[in-house]
């Protein structure tokens, strides 16, 4: 359909403060996405992925353009090791498969056993974790040094992640990253493990890492950023990190992950592309990837989820629809086709004459009807009444059913099941006169 405004007119009518504010930044031409869905994402409470599901998601990410895919933690269990090994030995067109390890020989050996070519070594480095782990700064540095040497001596490429780096004293953070760079890290990653950063503090930290660690060492070691969404800032902080020089943003499909989740792949990639930074991601396949992952995780997305949520490109207000019919950019920041979506118009309480007229022509245009204006007004009134008279009681019933079903899906192992398992194994260690033993003997 033809719109009211031409491309030339739109350039005059729309001010882009993103472009204006970023003119003095040396933005990267391109970055590469490092996805953590199959590792950090699977740590979402009650989520468990089968081998087939992990392979399918990894293959989809490979096809869509994700460059680095973390698939698991081999040292966790023999089954996890088998899963990682199976994925590693699948054929991938362009993605590099990663496994993670603590700076321990056993963890690295578990990665070696899976045929991984590249791994991620991580450690929590903030003072609170150092105290919890009973480690001194120098002990951590020596541990990192030894682990990096061992992994590289065994033919592995190694990436370094400073877990909880965003709450670490800068001097230790500097020493940790410097050791990782000195001993050959492919990439260094700042971990905002509990999501405490804001865009301002992200900017501050990445600048300092670049100017006081990376640049003085005259290294080209790229920086990555791993953010959590505890305060709803994971995507904003990730984008800020890229603007300040991070070349490897970490993401999870749909923003899944521990607690409030991680930076959402679809949002990060779409925002960066909109800023003119190439991600290599085929955005048109975001809905497909999102829906497959949603099904496998069993975690329904909010209708208000940006980019892939049901309502992301949906409109009901008559004023909005009338404006969109003049040109979509009035109420849509991007063309929905860019991310594999289509806009939807809903009809109800807030519908207006123009939206109903458009619906008549769009939905029953084959009839080629010329309906008088006063009849259209009657149709508008009837549509509004239909919406307003919908039973709120019925809507609440449906809502409560959905909430109950979601709670069931998120239960995990119930307290009853947990105590039955503990009781079964603990019986030999319970004294005969213990209340639990007496109760079971009755």
pLDDT, tens digit, 9 for 90 and up, residues 113-168: 999 999 999 999 999 999 999 999 999 999 999 999 999 999 999 999 999 999 99
pLDDT, tens digit, 9 for 90 and up, residues 77-90: 999 999 999 999 99
Residue 39, Ramachandran bin (φ over 0: left; ψ between -120 and 50: alpha; else beta): alpha
Q: Residue 397: what pLDDT? A: 81
- E strands along 125-230, which residues? 157-163, 188-192, 223-227
| For residue 72, pLDDT beyond 60 | yes
| Helix, strand, coil share of the chain (percent; to 5) | 50, 10, 35
| For residue 366, pLDDT beyond 50 | no
Percent of the chain with pLDDT over 90: 67
- If you write DSSP's letter for every residue of 416-431 in order, what string do you get? HHHHHHHHHHHGGGS-
Sketch out the chain's domains with CATH numbers.
Answer: 27-297 (3.20.20.70), 314-388 (no CATH), 412-442 (no CATH)
The overall longest dimension of the chain from CA atoms, in Å, is 89
């Amino acid at each position: 359909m033809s719109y009211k405004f031409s491309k030339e007119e739109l350039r005059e009518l729309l001010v882009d403060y993103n472009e204006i504010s970023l003119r003095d930044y040396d933005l990267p031409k391109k970055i590469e996405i490092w996805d953590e869905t199959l590792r950090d994402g699977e740590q979402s409470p009650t989520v468990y992925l089968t081998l087939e599901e992990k392979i399918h998601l990894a293959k989809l990410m490979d096809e869509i353009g994700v460059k680095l895919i973390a698939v698991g933690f081999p040292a966790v269990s023999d089954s996890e090791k088998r899963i990682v090994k199976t994925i590693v030995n699948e054929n991938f067109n362009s993605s590099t498969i990663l496994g993670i390890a603590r700076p321990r020989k056993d963890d690295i050996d578990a990665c070696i056993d899976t045929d991984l070519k590249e791994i991620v070594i991580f450690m929590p480095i903030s003072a609170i974790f150092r105290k919890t782990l009973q480690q001194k700064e120098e002990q951590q540095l020596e541990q990192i040094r030894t682990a990096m040497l061992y992994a590289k001596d065994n033919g592995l490429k190694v990436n370094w992640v400073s877990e909880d780096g965003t709450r670490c004293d800068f001097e230790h953070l500097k020493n940790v990253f410097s050791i990782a760079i000195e001993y050959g890290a492919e990439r260094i990653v700042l971990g905002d493990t509990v999501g405490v950063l804001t865009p301002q503090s992200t900017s501050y930290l990445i600048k300092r890492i670049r100017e006081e660690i990376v640049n003085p060492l005259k290294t080209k070691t790229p920086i990555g950023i791993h953010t959590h969404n505890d305060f709803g800032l994971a995507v904003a902080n990730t984008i800020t990190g890229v603007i300040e020089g991070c070349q490897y943003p970490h993401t999870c499909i749909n923003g899944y992950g521990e607690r409030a989740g991680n930076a959402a792949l679809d949002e990060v990639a779409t925002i960066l592309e909109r800023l003119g930074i190439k991600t290599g991601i085929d955005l048109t396949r975001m809905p497909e990837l999102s829906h497959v992952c949603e099904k496998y995780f069993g975690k329904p997305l909010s209708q208000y989820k940006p980019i892939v949520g049901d309502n992301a490109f949906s409109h009901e207000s008559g004023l909005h629809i009338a404006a969109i019919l003049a040109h979509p950019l009035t109420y849509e920041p991007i063309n929905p086709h860019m991310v594999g979506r289509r806009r939807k118009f809903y009809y109800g309480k807030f519908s207006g004459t123009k939206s109903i007229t458009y619906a008549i022509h769009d939905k029953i245009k084959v009839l080629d009807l010329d309906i008088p204006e006063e009849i259209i007004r009657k149709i508008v009134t009837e549509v509004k009444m239909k919406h307003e008279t919908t039973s709120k009681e019925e809507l609440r019933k449906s809502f409560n059913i959905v909430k109950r079903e979601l709670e069931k899906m998120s239960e995990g192992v119930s307290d009853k099941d947990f105590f039955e398992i503990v009781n079964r194994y603990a019986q030999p260690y319970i004294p005969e006169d213990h209340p639990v033993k007496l109760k079971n003997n009755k």
